[in-house]
Amino acid sequence: MRTDRLHSTQRRSTRRRQHFRHAFYRTRAVHLLDIENLTASTRPGALEVTATMQLYRTAVPIGRMDQFIAAVNPRSLVSAGIALQGVQLLTLSGPDGADRALVETALEDHLDQRFSRVVIGSGDGYFADLAVWLIGRGVHVTVVSRRGALNWRLYTSVPDTVILDSATVHVA
């Protein structure tokens, strides 16, 4: 009797996960990517960005209608542009320049009205207020961060997090 309940619970849990994953693909999302944070480099090369994005694509569900917006400091613009063809690329100099560019774009472009999901590719606490603001407007927010780089304030602000395991990132 007890094993029947266990198997029933496992089937329900599997169905929920399948429904969640299916719903993820049906909804439109925007991915806000802080490239320096995801690569753990202040000046990532094209190979580092490519390897990180391959890992990102395996860890995060991406729908056909998803949009990507990436931000880098001006010194990384060329290498990121080579690696991220077809991605909207922002740059802003100064402290937290990439973070500010992403937050300003999210607010000015009314991403809360255009997307049902926002994926923040960064572990910086700078994005905590944006995450809270988006959630308050009914947007589902997920944070993708490297292991050990996720700010506690950002972590507690969102319902979902995905940790990229940097041990699997290999640069040739």
Distance CA(69)–CA(30), nearest Å, equals 7
CATH of the domain at 113: 3.40.50.1010
Q: What are phi and psi of 143, to 5 degrees?
A: -110, 135
Which residue from 123, 105, 122 is spatially nearest to 114, judged by alpha carbons? 105
Distance CA(124)–CA(167), nearest Å, equals 20
Query: Tokens standing for 161?
Result: 């997090």
Angle between helices 128-136 and 97-108 (to 10 degrees): 10
126 within domain boundaries: yes
Taking residues 70-98, report their average pLDDT.
Answer: 91
Lowest mean pLDDT, pick from 14-23, 34-43, 55-64, 111-120: 14-23
Which residue from 131, 117, 123, 116 is spatially nearest to 98, judged by alpha carbons? 123
16 within domain boundaries: no
17 within domain boundaries: no
pLDDT at 107 over 50: yes
Number of structural domains the chain divides into: 1
pLDDT (0 to 100) of residue 167? 47
Residue 76 confidence class, pLDDT cut points 50, 70, 90? confident
145 within domain boundaries: yes
How much is the pTM? 0.80
15 within domain boundaries: no
Q: Supply the range of the domain harboring residue 107.
A: 27-168
pLDDT at 94 over 90: no
Question: Each residue of 17-28: pLDDT tens digit?
Answer: 555 555 555 578
